[in-house]
Amino acid sequence: MLKGKSAIVTGATSGIGLAIARGFAKEGMNLLIDGFGDTPANHKVAADIAAEFNVTCVFSPADMSKPAEIAGMVDLANKSLGGVDVLVNNAGIQFVAPVEEFPPEKWDAIIAINLTAAFHCTRLVVPQMKTKGWGRIINTASAHASVASPFKSAYVSAKHGLYGFTKTIALEVATNGITANCISPGYVWTPLVEHQIPETMAARHLTREQVINDVLLHAQPTKQFVTVEEVAGIAVFLCTDAAKNITGTNIAVDGGWTAE
Provide the annotated active-site residues: 155
Closest to 32 in 3D by CA, of 77, 71, 67, 62: 77
In terms of Cα–Cα distance, which of 169, 164, 186 is closest to 231?
186
Surface-to-core class of residue 70, CB atoms within 10 Å of its CB (0-12 exposed, 13-18 middle, 19+ buried): buried
Query: How distant, in Å, are the alpha carbons of 39, 205, 259 from that of 253?
Result: 32, 29, 11
The answer to whether 68 and 76 are in contact (CB under 8 A) is no
Task: Report how far apart the first and last C-alpha atoms of the chain are (Å, whole number).
Answer: 37
Judge whether 29 and 53 are in contact, CB under 8 Å: no
Residues forming a β-bridge with 32: 8, 58
**Residue 34 φ/ψ, nearest 5 degrees:** -115, 145
Closest CA to 62 of 77, 50, 49, 47: 77
What is the helix (H) or strand (E) element at residue 105, kind and residue range? Answer: helix 104-111
